[in-house]
Structure 1
Amino acid sequence: MPFEVAFTAVYSLLLTLGAIGLHRLGRRDPSAWSSRMLAGYRAQHPDSIPATPSDAFPHRDSGRLHSAVGAVACLAALLVTVAQLIRHHRPGEAILLAGCAAIAGAALHPLLRAAQSRPAADRVPAPGAAPPES
């Protein structure tokens, strides 16, 4: 098996794992006041700066941003693998590269869905529907 096939397979899997890691990182609470590092400070100063609401602008879109960047990495993994599959199509190489492409394609779908979803605060109500209560 040529070196570039093995390199492409490993690189594709690393890109896909990185994309999944970015997606998971985007699901974490971005508020600095919810971290464990500041727990002692919050205990000593209970009336300090209030926590930023999680529906404020940059915080509500951080998950979508992480998913979109992960989707780009996953798409790159898919494209590199398919390009190598076109060049190297012996049975062993094709099985390895097709498996890596399938993994990248399977990971790409939920990333794209998460990147395209809109937070509830941004959704436009249907015509004739009552606006959401604040």
Structure 2
Amino acid sequence: PVAGGECEYTRWGFIDVFESRAMDVVQPDTCAAGGLTECKKIADMANAFGVRYLPHVWGTGIGMAAALQLIASLAHTPARLRPREPLLELDRSEHPFRQAVLAEPLGHRGGWVEIPGGPGLGIEVDRDALRRFEARP
């Protein structure tokens, strides 16, 4: 399967991808491709074209929480008799900022990531941690 799309933006950027059948799996980055609402539209388009939707996550736990909440809201794509579990592409390399900005880090064990259950994105941002990383003149 051919996968891509992490550097494509908005549903308008994906139209040619879907119409030309250029990819079997699209991987928009939820934070870069237009946010939750726009990515839901991209996911709906993927479903209509029979293309699998698998978000790409690069950056902080905030972006990861957004992608997880989006995945939780989607129908299995493409629709089939025996649906496949949703997948998420994420970077697990050492990165001090990624989880530090969350009051409680998102856990992943054995290839599974738990979807946060709190209000909104399900996470609480650690404002003190944000201040430690802010750029100063």
State TM-score, norm by structure 1: 0.29
Q: Which has the higher contact order (CA 8 A, sep 6+)?
A: 1
Structure with the bigger percentage of helix: 1
**Which structure has the larger Rg over C-alpha atoms?**
1
Structure with the bigger percentage of strand: 2
State TM-score, norm by structure 2: 0.28
